[in-house]
Amino acid sequence: DAKTTQPPSMDCAEGRAANLPCNHSTISGNEYVYWYRQIHSQGPQYIIHGLKNNETNEMASLIITEDRKSSTLILPHATLRDTAVYYCIVRHSGGSNYKLTFGKGTLLTVNP
Amino acid sequence: GAVVSQHPSRVICKSGTSVKIECRSLDFQATTMFWYRQFPKKSLMLMATSNEGSKATYEQGVEKDKFLINHASLTLSTLTVTSAHPEDSSFYICSGGQGDTEAFFGQGTRLTVV
């Protein structure tokens, strides 16, 4: 699986959009971009994933650049409960029968 | 979404004893589940892949005789930390899914060995 690079930490004001970047310059054509988050002392939570196209769900939007070498996770209206470590993971296979390799992630702190 | 339930959420045990952690898929069947370990302020590290009806696959550096994994049914995988020592104190997390969907994680188990 391709390696990802994320900033170690970011701050965001409550109610504003949080934009979390991820670089994956060595991504191959059949690799997906996944985002998970981990609130302190809890198991990770799936957020969103995509292959080529931008994706949106009730939690977030995922913007993938045309060359697929980077992506941005957008939380449109961040709340205090969105404070967590966000992990960007690139993996070959969709589906849960394939392991996830976690990097260090980005600690997002949402401030009141 | 699918639910993975992990039990117990916290456990304190004496050095030298064994501890069993359960990971259940509540509304789906999981042929594969994964066990991770997380030390304070560190990321999750995959320990092993649990395969229903067969032996687990362990990551390099993980002692299979110390961390026993049993996946006897499609809804239950267990991790037993044998002869626990203080350095085994950690946050243990399991994950599973329905194969063609994303993985879901348990709530995690905080193990403290005293």
Q: What is the pLDDT of residue B100?
A: 64
Tell if the CB–CB gap between B43 and A100 is shorter than 8 Å: no
Q: Which DSSP symbol is given to B59?
A: P
Q: Percent of chain A having pLDDT more than 90?
A: 81
Can you tell me the distance from the alpha carbon of A96 to that of B96, in angstroms, rounded to the nearest whole number?
A: 6
Which residue among B45, B93, B103 places its CB closest to the CB of A96?
Answer: B103
Q: Dump pLDDT digits (tens) for B68-89.
A: 999 989 899 999 999 999 999 9
pLDDT band at B97 (very low <50, low <70, confident <90, very high): confident
Residues whose CB falls within 8 Å of the CB of residue B40, separated by 6 or more in sequence, listed in order: none
Q: Dump pLDDT digits (tens) for A59-102.
A: 999 999 999 999 999 999 999 999 999 999 998 765 666 788 89
Cα–chain center distance at A79: 17
In terms of C-beta density within 10 A (0-12 exposed, 13-18 middle, 19 or more buried), how is residue A92 classed? exposed
CB A35 within 8 A of CB A73: yes
Contacts of A95 in chain B (CB under 8 A): 97, 99-102
Q: Average pLDDT of B45-50?
A: 94
B113 close to A (CB below 8 A):
no
Q: Dump pLDDT digits (tens) for B20-32.
A: 999 999 988 888 8
Contacts of A49 in chain B (CB under 8 A): 102
Q: What is the pLDDT of residue A91?
A: 85
Contacts of A105 in chain B (CB under 8 A): 43
Q: Is the pLDDT of residue B45 over 70?
A: yes
Nearest chain B Cα distance for residue A38, angstroms: 10
Question: Across all residues in chain A, what is the average pLDDT?
Answer: 93
Q: What is the pLDDT of residue A47?
A: 95
